[in-house]
Amino acid sequence: MRGLRAFVCGAGIVNAAGIGLEKTWEALRNEKPCLKPLSLFTVSHAPALPAGEICEALPSEQTVPRTHSLALLAAREALSLSPSFPEAIVLGGTTGGISTTETLIRSGETRPERYRYHALGSVATYLACELKCRGPVISVSTACSSGTAALKIALEMIRRGQARIVLAGGADALSRLTYYGFHSLQLIDPAGARPFDLHRGGLTVAEGAAFLLLAGAEEPPDGALAELVGSGLTCDAYHPAAPHPEGAGAGAAMRIALSDAGMTAKEIDYINLHGTGTVDNDRAEARAIRDLFADPPPLSSVKGIFGHALGAAGAIEAVVSVLCIARGFVPANVGCTVLDTGLGLRPLPRGKSGKIGAVLSNSFGFGGNNAALIVADPSRPSGNAERARVMQFDLLGTACLTGAGLTDATLEKFRRGGELGGRFDLATLGGDLFGGSLRRLRRLPRITLILARAAQKAAGMADAAGLPGGIFFGTGWGPLTETNDFLKQLFASAEQFTSPTDFIGSVHNAPASQAAIRLKATGPNVTATGGDYSFEQALFSAALLTKEGDDPVLVIGADEHHDILSPRLDPASTAGDGADGGAAFILRPRAASTGLRMVPAFLSYVPENQDAIPPLIEALGGPERICNQFAAVFAGIPASAHPRGESYIAAFLQRTGFTGMVYDYRGTTGEFSGASAVAAALAVDAVSRGVLPTHPSGVGKEPLGGKGILLLGLGEFVTAIGVMR
């Protein structure tokens, strides 16, 4: 079957220039910065530093946080010419509802319902509800490359036949966390962003949202604006905040994007630079471009106009790239008045008109997360290669950590029917799993690194030279300790003092980046953050972004319990005993496998009162196949979704005629967002031994009869993962 191409059939944008494509276009043509002193909230120093703030009224901001409002505005513009609802949504971001959370924390609010929109994943779920999306919804947080990483996942969804209409992009609002965080790192230029200027002094924090509506087709649909033809994701595996000085990861991402598009460097007509205006980032990007392009095409950064909208920046610049192709124009490198000639690049001092056939757009973020994408004229010929397949995985190594301990202790207790909840004292883990350098890290990155190292050992790769296949990390809430400590110090000091270390550590992808540095994992480094379904989103992303023959990847799901924040943010945590932990898997991508394997089979957002079971059963191959393949169901029903989840499992059993054991694993793992990853590790153990565990009711220790175990997530999302031989 011929592969589908991903055509851009709609675009929407909100940024410092205002709401809508035309205001962005006007700002690009006028070549004037849209930056001014921050006024969204009062700051403790004077004058306020410049920011890319949106000054127009946001219609829904009274009911949802600012990020959600920005996202909905941009999404609706992208969909304005489409007669269909999106079949899938992929959203990149870093702030979620933190701007509202900051106000609530400072006021002393403790009621969980007031924090319902805190999570990064809540932005994508809010869009899915408002826009009537009934398919996969994935939230990505890879720092400042989030929006571009989201577009790469969307591209692969279309190529691999998972959806034909995908809304993808990014959204982030200004917040105290990001404003004071970058200020604490001394990375904000008081004169405004000056990309590639000799006297550049840092970035300008900004906000915004942007989306592309991608339609899968073999030939360009009527009205197509552009085509997303390729993308590359890499990780520096070098430093938590600083880029690789030689731009190694950035260069690799661009080369992968070119290869993915089937293009050469000479076919690129314009490079949209990441170009933040920080000394190190501009230098590293310039080095990477010089190494790849013997004679670089016209290039510029638009962050001197709009500022740096963090997780939304890559999506904003993807929309700018589409405008360049659709309207035949490349923008100026605004803000640069004295060119830093030592960088060896000459960004455009003025915009210019002309036909643009292909644009390369770069986005790089904390943790060395690099992303590059290529958009092209939709009339460009394409070979329409064979449709790629969604991967399944050979299981090479598994590790888990619960209140009972690391893998062996957890599995031993699980086999006896014991409960695994609570929190394990990480200080008791020593040896090569917990070296001295890890003791400086807080709870979630320590959990992540312990799991990564243990899974590597279980796979017999402890002495291997790195893990080049990459890391896919799922976390519902990210590093709560660092976030709490940053905000606690900020508010206790009347917003005078903050910790740069806590700021760097507070981003959701920080634990995965730490793992990449220690494992030398230079492939994609993707953090998914979809609440109770974060592990499933990470695994599904890995299945989309890998192909047969790729190096093994590390997939992790983990979360920490925080005594202050967890009861406020996570409704499930109030029903448990403060459980946390997670699991990690070394997986080899396969198109098909007959060994011990893990198969991500279904991921769908489900609104209230919608029957999710028929599409689930269809995706799993029908009742007969389900009963033939699986001996047991491990059901994950979060405490906050019990009535809905119980109705789903009842409907599943009734419609499939399944008579095997149904095991509600959250009663064993405890209530936390990483529970599904732990359940997957428990299922791997049972399938590898060929026997069901003892159920807390006393039922169990029955042979599986060569069948596997089906893990179902049942609640706001419905998910399915098969573990089988």
What's the alpha-carbon Rg for the chain, to the nearest Å? 24
- Label residue 606 left, alpha or beta by phi (over 0 means left) and psi (-120 to 50 means alpha): beta
Partners of 270 in the beta sheet? 359
Residue linked to tokens 């290669």: 385
Closest by Cα among 100, 89, 95, 175 to 139? 89
HSE-CB of 300 using CA atoms within 13 angstroms: 23
From CA 401, how far away is CA 421, in angstroms rounded? 10
Q: Is 524 exposed, middle or buried (0-12, 13-18, 19+ CB in 10 A)?
A: buried
**What distance lies between CA 395 and its chain's CA centroid?**
23
Q: Tokens standing for 707? A: 């069948």
Please tell me whether residue 55 adopts helix, strand or coil conformation. Answer: coil
The SS3 call for residue 198 is coil
Token pair for residue 689?
């031994």
Task: Decide: residue 374, CB within 10 A, 0-12 exposed, 13-18 middle, 19+ buried.
Answer: buried
Q: Could you tell me if 711 and 683 are in contact, meaning their C-beta atoms sit under 8 angstroms apart?
A: yes
Closest Cα partner for 583 from 641, 523, 534?
534
Q: Could you give the angle at which helices 121-131 and 66-78 cross, rounded to 10 degrees?
A: 40
Beta strands in 133-245 (DSSP E): 137-140, 165-172, 208-217, 226-235
Which DSSP helix (H) or strand (E) runs through 352?
strand 352-353
Centre a 10 Å sphere on the Cβ of residue 42 and count the other Cβ atoms it contains. Answer: 8
Cα gap 626→622, rounded to integer Å: 6
- Geometric angle at alpha carbon 480, from 540 and 558, rounded to 5°: 35
> Do residues 545 and 526 lie in contact, with contact meaning Cβ atoms separated by under 8 Å?
yes
- Annotated catalytic residues are 144, 274, 308
Secondary structure of 73-100 in HEC code, one letter for each residue: HHHHHHCCCCCCCCCEEEEECCCCCHHH
Q: Tell me the C-alpha distance between 117 and 368, whole Å.
A: 28
Closest CA to 713 of 451, 511, 476: 476
Vertex 143: Cα angle to 369 and 199 (nearest 5)? 85
Maximum Cα–Cα distance across the chain? 75
Phi and psi at 723, nearest 5°, equal -120, 120
| Pairwise CA distance, residues 342 & 396, whole Å | 47
Beta-bridge partner residues of 661:
632
Strands 525-528 and 471-474: parallel
d(CA 243, CA 287) in angstroms, rounded, equals 12
Distance CA 401, CA 637 (A): 20
